[in-house]
Amino acid sequence: MSVVPFVDFKARVSAVRGELEAAVGRVLDSGWFILGREGEAFERELASACGAQDAVGVASGTEAIQLALSAVGVGAGDEVVTSPLTAAFTGLAILAAGGRPVFADVDPATLNVAPEAVARAVTPRTKALLPVHLYGHPADLDPLLQIARDHGLPLVEDACQAHGARYKGRVVGALSGIGALSFYPTKNLGALGDAGAVLVNDPALAVRLRRTRNGGQTDRYHHAEPGINSRLDEMQAAVLRVGLRHLERGNARRRELAAIYRRELANVGGLVLPVEQPYARSNHHLFVVRHPRRDALMAGLEERGIASLIHYPVPLHLQGAFAALGGRRGDFPVAEKAAGEIVSLPLYPEMTDAQALVVAAAVRELAAREA
Ligand SMILES: *Cc1c(COP(=O)(O)O)cnc(C)c1O
């Protein structure tokens, strides 16, 4: 029995159970389950919350990235520059769009893709840039957008971890014009299943995305172009409308808990805390610290009933799924070193201050032992 789990879905559901039951009840009463009123309302509400012109609901974050890349013109053999330190699904979405992932090493402070490395990775075959707002801390978008402009390339934001995070005061996700969100249950805005969305500012791209998520259909049974089946169902849309109403409050609570961790873990020898850059307001999707004896730290936490995870233990260029790209150990030294030192501590809105203090005390004690 864990003292502090990594996330607590039962607590999350029970906090809004009445609202969820009303939302599900509305869908049951409507007799309409795919692409309907709930989905349309959610798309409007989501776009407005994210400062985007439009949002297109899809079946997962992975497919949101895939469809966004296809919409901006990525096709067979086109190179897409992204981070090697991300969910493998970022790279898999590039493959699904027919593209070829090209990795660029990360910034040692934020672990987001480093703009200088992205500039070096661009070739005549590059078709798009795909930075990830890792752990909910925005990537440094202005220099990345400058690189995109210099080379006439679209930039798609992988905002799958960054719901409500801000870059220079503005919500990320469509600051470049197009970006992808995931509503996997663990995300700051989570469905009761799989779901995702593309945020988009260009009406023509929005029309295209509404086609391609639905098999490329223009009218029923008339398929103007190849698409996929990545529709958002009404049940998840109704559930997500509830979650969206509580997103800012949840993010604010995450910020309080992160502040407790920062206060309690300041000046612990060997421990590196995440930094929030002056341009960024993180949504604290994950609270990731670094320690040279990370594995021993995690083992000690587990003994005390405290959950922890690694996001992510194997950089993409060293994953079997991307072996055909020919990546080798040593290609991206900053990402590789980080992958051996990072550990994500529990942080979720329903966590109590007392639980955060228990985690912090354990980390302090273990770090002192491993120093
Ligand atoms: C969760 C996630 C994805 C994939 O989203 P799914 O909804 O699980 O398909 C892609 N990229 C990043 C950075 C993610 O965190």
pLDDT digits (tens, 9 = 90+) for 326-356: 999 999 999 999 999 999 999 999 999 999 9
Closest ligand 1 atom to residue 285 Cα is: 15
Last residue of a domain, one of 241, 258, 274: 241
Answer whether 87 contacts ligand 1 (Cβ < 6 A): yes
Closest ligand 1 atom to residue 86 Cα is: 13
Q: Please answer whether residues 81 and 104 qualify as being in contact, where contact means their C-beta atoms are separated by less than 8 angstroms.
A: yes
For 114-169, write each residue's pLDDT tens digit: 999 999 999 999 999 999 999 999 999 999 999 999 999 999 999 999 999 999 99
| 4 within a domain of the structure (yes/no) | no
Handedness of CA 167, 173, 174, 176 (dihedral sign): positive
Partners of 155 in beta bridges: 129
Question: Treating both helix axes as pointing N-terminal to C-terminal, what angle do 353-370 and 294-303 enclose, rounded to 10 degrees?
Answer: 130
Answer whether 161 contacts ligand 1 (Cβ < 6 A): yes
| 219 within a domain of the structure (yes/no) | yes
Same domain for 170 and 267, yes or no, is no
Indicate which CATH number applies to the domain containing 256: 3.90.1150.10
Q: How many folded domains does the chain comprise? A: 2
Residue whose token pair is 């609270």: 287
**Range of the structural domain that residue 345 is part of:** 247-370
Helix (H) or strand (E) holding 82: strand 79-82
At residue 1, the pLDDT reads 52
The mean of the pLDDT values for the chain is: 97
Q: Quick one: which of 367, 361, 358, 346 has its CA closest to 11?
A: 346
Same domain for 188 and 254, yes or no, is no
Minimal-distance CA residue to ligand 1 atom 2: 160
Same domain for 220 and 264, yes or no, is no
Same domain for 337 and 228, yes or no, is no
| 72 within a domain of the structure (yes/no) | yes
| 3 within a domain of the structure (yes/no) | no
At residue 361, the pLDDT reads 98
Last residue of a domain, one of 188, 211, 241: 241
Same domain for 345 and 230, yes or no, is no
Using 70 as the pLDDT threshold, list the residues of the chain that sit under it. Answer: 1
